[in-house]
Amino acid sequence: MSTEVKVPTLGESVTEATVGEWLKQPGDAVAVDEPIASLETDKVAVEVPSPVAGRLESHAVEVGATVEVGAVIALVTAGDTAPAEKAPAAQPKADKALADKQSSDEIAALPDDKAAASGAPAGDGSVTMSPAVRRAVIEHGVDPTSIKGTGKDGRLTKEDVIAAAEAKKAAPSDASAPAAPAPAPVPAAAKGERREERVKMTRMRQTIAKRLKGAQDNAALLTTFNDCDMTAVIEAREAYKDLFAKKHGIKLGFMSFFAKAACLALKDVPAVNAYIDGDEIVYHDYVDISVAVSAPNGLVVPVVRSADAMSFAEIELAIADFGKRAKEGALTMDDMAGGTFTISNGGVFGSLMSTPIINPPQSAVLGLHRIEDRPVARNGEVVIRPMMYLALSYDHRIIDGREAVTALKIMKEAIEDPMRLLIDL
């Protein structure tokens, strides 16, 4: 008896999604609630579980198809968990389309076992990979079967492949070991030959593009800057990092300091924590901080709720959990709903200065940047201090320049003198 697998409820105001990846192929055995497909929504990837135990009978839609909530995407034969007796399945259409985009010389350069793992059904050594991961495997020439996946259910992520490729390059050669056969050379592109590739934007990337462009079109964006001496925070972390980690089971990072400093400023300057709704301004007596996190499919902003009522440890634990789940693609729609203020840390990627764009309907975003030693004047002398540029982008329709500058100055002073965070000054 066949059971329909339907698109589940995706969240408030989300009515459709794109089929991003099939985790199970026709003939594969599935357990109850075992994910069989991954759907891409405007914000997150959502896995579709099997409603019954049995065997996947067929796919009703292809990778890349847009499906609505309640639509049937697959059929599962209930109770039949025995492997299907059938000839080796043909390569899925989506995988074939991706393979067609790769140059023939790249595919030819892959060893047989890697070619099998790149999308075609294989034996016991096959690895389930998304198109992005498969492409990374081809580009870096690594063996996916030798890499331990850190994604959900042990699946490979693009970061796993890149890390394995870098480790392979950094590994010292063993002179005593027999020389491995040289890989087949990849034919060089003909001189003057130029290539281009068209890849359909994911639903998440399309939404990011629309929201950011909408913020520019609808808000009166302006950015104010300041620089911040990180000496006191660095010294505090160094003095208490071991005790903090021992007591709370998490490292003491910079984000908790900036989150608490932002809470202090937003309480004193409520307009920075408000937003415009029609012809009204909505103020909040709480601070829900959206923290920009890099995920495999793009930037996501999960929300640390009531950050003003949380301790340093609670904030660090929440952010660490978001980072881990973003990498695994396990964030939910509820994780990213709401938010009254955003903090984005471009410094982890080496950014010196930027003008971040607000996250609608919010009215302000704090941009953090890399810390670098710079000469500054202190008490009439030039000294070297670890400095960071801070950027506060805001909607000038609701926040005046005086308010924005005041809020950023409060954050700067709280970071330079963390005692202010304890005495609410």
Q: What is the DSSP string of 392-425?
A: EEEETTTS-HHHHHHHHHHHHHHHHSTHHHHHT-
Q: Of 33, 334, 400, 417, which one is the catalytic site residue? A: 400
DSSP category for residue 107: H
Please give the Cα distance from 81 to 125 (Å, whole number): 20
Respond yes or no: is residue 396 known to be catalytic: yes
Respond yes or no: is residue 424 known to be catalytic: no
Q: Across the strands, what pairs with 276?
A: 281
Q: What is the DSSP string of 287-298?
A: --EEE-EEETTE
Please give the Cα distance from 175 to 178 (Å, whole number): 8
Please give the Cα distance from 389 to 15 (Å, whole number): 41
Q: What is the DSSP string of 225-254?
A: EEEEE-HHHHHHHHHHHHHHHHHHSS---H
Q: Of 33, 242, 334, 396, which one is the catalytic site residue? A: 396
Please give the Cα distance from 240 to 290 (Å, whole number): 26
Active site residues: 396, 400
